[in-house]
Structure 1
Amino acid sequence: MKLQAALDTLTLEQCIELLQETGHSVDIAEVGTPFIIEQGMAPVRVLKERFPHIEVLADAKIMDAGEFEADKCFEAGADIVTVLGVSYDETIEGVVRSAKKHGKKVMVDMIAVQDLAKRTREIDQMGVDYICVHTAFDIQSTGQKDPLEELKVVNQVIEHAQSAVAGGVKLSTIDAIAREGAAIVVVGGAICNAASRSETAREMKRHLQEENA
């Protein structure tokens, strides 16, 4: 299982500092959507240059012009690009074409998908690499969504892609998620806001490795 650090609200300098502290544990550095809105592809380029051993995910949440927008992300150095599961099939297929052209990967973000099992089955046939259940930031405190239960739904359905989970993952919940199994576990605030980011990332990675042993 890979540990992905979601970098959403930090400055580029703070992100570099965090990855210097946690790079021994973090497999994927996510340039989050707020970060992209603020600074475009610049953080993708810089982080890939500074940390070539870490995969960089551009959380572009593509919803239209799939191939064109994915091209821009991959050309900037992204290893993985996100597209929304609620997008048209043609958009997702365009992102897949771009990824194959560049030798990179696609993660489909299932945020706001209503019929998770049905849409997962459809997307799983499109050649994507990861299907990610995502509890939206805006509803994490409401208890409307359970990332573990949604992860179980995806794991029961997928035949080709691998699963991923994001949204509110913390040390107290990571064991249950790891037991269910996901190729990628995305952690944001639990690492970025920790008193010791290095130790927290190390501990989370240890939990994932133990469950995967």
Structure 2
Amino acid sequence: MNIQLALDRMKIEDAIQLSREVEQHIDWIEVGTSLIKEFGMTSVRRIKEAFPNKTIVADIKTIDNARYEFELCFQAGADVATVMGVAPLVTIEACMDVAKRYNKKVMIDLLNTSDEQKSALMRCKDAIFCDHVSKDQQEESGERHLGTRREDPTIQLAAAGGITFDSIGHLIETLNPDVVIIGSAISKAQNPSEAAAKFKQLISQSGVNR
């Protein structure tokens, strides 16, 4: 099970410094949507240059213009790029096509998708599906990620949204994701390195080995 550090609402230099502090305890580094919106592909490029051996996720949240945006991400060094599950299927299929050509991965964000949309998306066997509680849901409504039962053990699954020390055990038990995406519980901790190490320990103690 991989820990993906989500970097949002900070400067590139701060994102790199934070990642260096926790590097030994995390597996993937997410260049968050806010970083990409503020600094463009420079944020992806600089973080990949700083951490060439880490899997870099460009959380671009594509919903249209898929080929152009995904090529930008992969050319900048991203290993994974994200597309919204509510996008037209032709958009998602274009993302899959570009990723295959670059030998990269697509993460499909399931935020606000219906059961019907999720069923249609399951044809994308090589994608990573992200079960996501949004930042606005967390900050405006107080919702937190608790996880739901994983129905298909063959799909690649990520989980994001308000994951904490208290919730990760239940999340692993119910959802059993391949990737846990953790942001503020690490980035806003008094000691980010200790926080990341604790998450790593909790995952190890769960007995899950992915």
Alignment of 1:82-97 (within 5 A): 82-97=82-97
1: CA distance, partners of 2:66 / 2:154: 21
In 2, distance between residues paired with 1:204 and 1:159? Answer: 23
Task: Return the letter of the residue paired with 2:5.
Answer: A
Matched to 1:62, the amino acid is T
Gaps of 5+ in 1: none
Kept in 2: contact 1:65–1:94 (CA 8 A): no
CA distances 1:1-24 after superposition (whole Å, capped 9, x unpaired): 110111011211111111111000
Task: Write the distance in 2 (CA, Å) between the matches of 1:55 and 1:20.
Answer: 14
Distance 2:177 2:125 in 1: 18
**Which stretch shows the higher mean deviation, 45-54 or 125-134?**
125-134
- Report what 2:192 is aligned to: 197
Cα distance in 1, alignment partners of residues 94 and 68 from structure 2: 8
2:120 alignment partner, one of 119, 122, 139: 122
Write the distance in 2 (CA, Å) between the matches of 1:133 and 1:127: 16
State the secondary structure of the residue aligned to 1:83: strand
Look up the match of 1:131: 129
TM-score (norm 2): 0.92
1:89-134 deviation digits (Å, cap 9, x = unpaired): 0000000001000000000001121x24x32221121234211111
What TM-score, normalized to structure 1? Answer: 0.91
Q: Which runs of 5+ in 2 are unaligned?
A: none
- Spell out, residue by residue over 1:122-164, the C-alpha distance to the aligned partner (whole angstroms, 9 max, x if none): 1121234211111111111425x56334x42xx21x4653111
CA distance in 1 between counterparts of 2:83 and 2:145 reads: 19
**How many residues get paired?**
206
Who is 1:32 aligned against? 32
Counterpart for residue 174 of structure 1: 168
One-letter identity of the residue aligned with 1:126: C
Offset of 1:25 from its aligned partner?
1.0
Check conservation: 2:5, 2:182, Cα contact below 8 A: yes
Where do 1:146-165 residues align within 5 Å? Answer: 147-149=145-147, 151-152=148-149, 155-156=150-151, 158=152, 160-165=154-159
Counterparts of 2:39 and 2:162 in 1: how far apart (Å)? 24
Secondary structure, counterpart of 2:166 in structure 1: coil
* Other-structure match for 2:45: 45
RMSD, aligned CA: 1.5
> Which residue number in structure 1 is paired with residue 8 of structure 2?
8
Indicate the percent of aligned positions where both proteins have the same amino acid.
34
Find the counterpart in structure 1 of residue 181 from structure 2. Answer: 186
Residues 107 and 130 in structure 2, CA contact (< 8 A), matched pair in contact too: yes
- Find the partner of 2:138 among 118, 137, 140: 140
- Hey, what's the Cα distance between the residues in 2 that align with 1:178 and 1:4? 15
Cα distance in 2, alignment partners of residues 192 and 128 from structure 1:
30
Q: Which runs of 4+ in 1 moved over 4 A?
A: none
Look up the SS of the partner of 1:173 in the other structure.
helix
